[in-house]
Amino acid sequence: MKLELVFLPSPSAGHLRSTVELAKLLVNQDDRLYITFIIMPSRLGSDAASLSEISSLFTATKDRIRYIILSLNDRSNSDDTEPSLLSHINSFKPIVKATVAKLIDSFQPQSRRLAGFVVDMFCVPMIDVANEFYVPSYMFFTSNATFLGFQIHVQHLYDVQNFDVSELKDSNITDLDVPSLTHPLPVKCIPSPMLSKEWLPMVLSLNRRIKDTKGILVNTFSELEPQAMKFFTDRDNLIPKVYAVGPMLNVNVDSDKQSEILRWLDEQPRKSVVFLCFGSMGGFREDQAKEIATALERSGHRFVWSLRRAQSNGMMEPPGEFTNLEEILPEGFLKRTAEIGKIIGWAPQRAVLANPAIGGFVSHCGWNSILESLWFGVPIATWPLYAEQQVNAFEMVDELGLAVEIRNSFRGEFMVAETETELMTAEEIERGISRLMEQDSDVRDRVKEMSEKSHVALMDGGSSHAALVKFIQDVIENIS
């Protein structure tokens, strides 16, 4: 019997990429599995995952993976009394139900069976649709196990201990004990939505649906986050089973011989270049760009810098490009650094990190970026901007000793960095870069060791491979 899983990813490029990699591993592992993606558009009307990018993600997939793209026109009337993200996802329930019904009708009698839904961490309202088809739901948590444990703990504090974590924002409490961490988490590192009376109800609403799933796939590997995995084991009877199946990465880097940046990197000494890149939503004001430039020049290190302009007024849109770098950077900077540095807009991040010339990565600490950096053995200097990135940075620096810190006190909105943040000084940035690029540091040694473990985890017999096999077995057993 062939088994069909319906995947409902979050409408963002970062979530979609790792979800496609998960689907590839599943169909490669078991010939009985077929997967259909139902892709919803962003509620902004423009999606970080463009149609061309979506097409490219699925180009190399097997014929047992297919995708269906919905449009904003497919929405039903939304309930504006809910927070916008939940309202947006809920508005697609009717069309998702109709799409799945049509999918089932296309199955040859007795040849294929709907086995369940795999929903993104932000798409848990679709569990209701799965229930209408009497099939189980599973969650794919695209961030890390530590943050999943933190979310579960925040929910427990609210529902069981009557403690509202958003009240910490104006309290004198500086740290919070979190069971998925061995060190107390500084309140300054708690994501803005959890400290907001406006956003926390949406976070809690999403968290409450976790218990309605049969299992949670997490984009991590057990060797990276032992404390978090112990927390899940200790709460086995209280939360669904957690499968650490990562890292979910497309590590088949296209050499892209036409790329000037990659050709330039090929000419640089090994581990001599610092790479600065802040993700699809990371941009800076002109005054902050000047401070970064000053720090780079003072450090004396070679560099590749993905520099993009922050959107005004904290708009939740991708950053733009600076039209004239001469006007915003220190006078003469481009000329003085022409031989040792390159400034670009969009960066082919995986290809850059894979290059032997890269010795360090100044990163916003998105989880995909962290996993890529670990995979290629490149240490990170943390500069988190928004979402759960402060938690990620704290875990990497204080919990695991796999990164150095530039600063971890920036406070961003739900999915964008605030434009009016305190300026990061050139002195702070230079100090972080200098520590990052130390060749004989303990951090560099630990990153090298963890890189090797990340590769082993996905091999036959590795921890993530074993978790993936167990997940498939459980999917089959859960078919009623």
pLDDT of residue 79: 52
Spatial contact of 262 and 253, defined as CB atoms under 8 Å apart: no
Which of the two residues, 198 and 442, has the higher pLDDT score?
442
Q: What is the per-residue pLDDT across 336-374, written as a single tens digit (0 to 9) for each? A: 999 999 999 888 899 999 999 999 999 999 999 999 999
What's the pLDDT band for 254 if we cut at 50, 70, 90? Answer: low
Lookup: tokens for 46: 């423009």
pLDDT at 20 over 90: yes
Spatial contact of 27 and 35, defined as CB atoms under 8 Å apart: yes
Q: What is the per-residue pLDDT across 21-53, written as a single tens digit (0 to 9) for each? A: 999 999 999 999 999 999 998 876 544 456 777
pLDDT of residue 257: 47
Q: How far is Cα 236 from Cα 164, in angstroms, rounded to an integer?
A: 25
pLDDT of residue 420: 47
pLDDT of residue 256: 53
DSSP 203-262: HHHHHHGGGGSSEEEESS-TTT-HHHHHHHHHTTTTS-EEEE------------TT-HHH
The half-sphere exposure of 30 on its side-chain side, counting CA atoms within 13 A, is 22
Task: Name 213's Cβ contacts closer than 8 Å, sequence gap at least 6.
Answer: 119, 124, 127, 136, 137, 138, 139, 240
**2-161+200-250+457-477 matches 260-439 in fold:** yes
Considering 5-14, 36-45, 119-128, 252-261, the range whose residues carry the highest mean pLDDT is 119-128
Check: CATH 3.40.50.2000 for 2-161+200-250+457-477?
yes
Radius of gyration of the chain measured on its C-alpha atoms = 22
pLDDT of residue 387: 86
pLDDT of residue 297: 97
Q: What value does the mean pLDDT take over residues 419-446?
A: 90
Spatial contact of 280 and 48, defined as CB atoms under 8 Å apart: yes
Q: What value does the mean pLDDT take over residues 413-432?
A: 72
CATH topology of domain 260-439: Rossmann fold (3.40.50)
How far is C-alpha 45 from the geometric centre of its chain's CA atoms?
21
pLDDT of residue 417: 45
DSSP 178-199: -TT-SSPEEGGGS-GGGG-TTT
pLDDT of residue 53: 73
Lookup: tokens for 220: 């991590």
pLDDT at 320 over 80: no
Q: How far is Cα 137 from Cα 120, in angstroms, rounded to an integer?
A: 10
pLDDT of residue 431: 96
- Domains of the chain, by residue range, sit at 2-161+200-250+457-477, 260-439
Task: Name 341's Cβ contacts closer than 8 Å, sequence gap at least 6.
Answer: 296, 302, 303, 304, 305
Q: How far is Cα 164 from Cα 160, in angstroms, rounded to an integer?
A: 11
Q: What is the per-residue pLDDT across 179-220, written as a single tens digit (0 to 9) for each? A: 999 999 999 999 988 999 988 998 999 999 999 999 999 999
Q: What order of strands is seen across the sheet that includes strand 358-363?
A: 341-344, 302-306, 273-277, 358-363, 380-382, 403-405
